[in-house]
Amino acid sequence: MNTKKTNSCNLGGNDASLWVEPVGNIIIARVRGTATVELIQECQTRVTTLQRDTKFGRILYDALELNRPAIEIVLTQQTLSNQAKFDSVKIAIVVPNTGIAYLSRIAFGDVNHRVFYNDITAAVLWLKDEDV
């Protein structure tokens, strides 16, 4: 298993944290707590850098411990997603509830993504499926 540790950071409120690293051939980004614009921007920077460096076309966003973000955060992610040009990339977003699921769909817009409710295993299986 290829695991290249990327340091976690704390760029949000007191309870916010970010962790991004490749595991196998999937880039995993875990955001916890109350996200800020800076935290989302740093997450996107790390994910796109790893995607470019590793050529991995599978990204899993773990938002299970993310507090419901403000619309400003959602629109920031939407802008960043549109700018990233994730052409041949599959993105799975794992969320704890329908509110964050709805906001995730807005945030990732037209990108090839799917939202999963509390099910990291299903998300990883979908990412590994070559037919999707």
Spans of all domains in the chain: 17-128
How far is the C-alpha of 99 from the C-alpha of 51, rounded, in Å?
28
Indicate the pTM of the whole model. 0.88
How far is the C-alpha of 117 from the C-alpha of 78, rounded, in Å?
20
Residue 82's pLDDT is what? Answer: 85
Residue 12's pLDDT is what? Answer: 47
pLDDT band at 4 (very low <50, low <70, confident <90, very high): very low
Average pLDDT over residues 72-98: 90
Handedness of CA 36, 21, 110, 64 (dihedral sign): negative
Contacts of 98 (CB under 8 A, 6+ apart): 117
Average pLDDT over residues 39-61: 95
Indicate the average pLDDT of the chain: 88
One DSSP character per residue, 35-79 reads --HHHHHHHHHHHHHHHHHH---EEEEE-TTBPPPPHHHHHHHHH
- Return the residue matching tokens 């704890």: 96
* Candidate CATH numbers 3.90.79.10, 3.40.605.10, 3.30.750.24, 3.30.565.10; the one for domain 17-128: 3.30.750.24
Closest Cα partner for 69 from 91, 37, 110?
Answer: 37
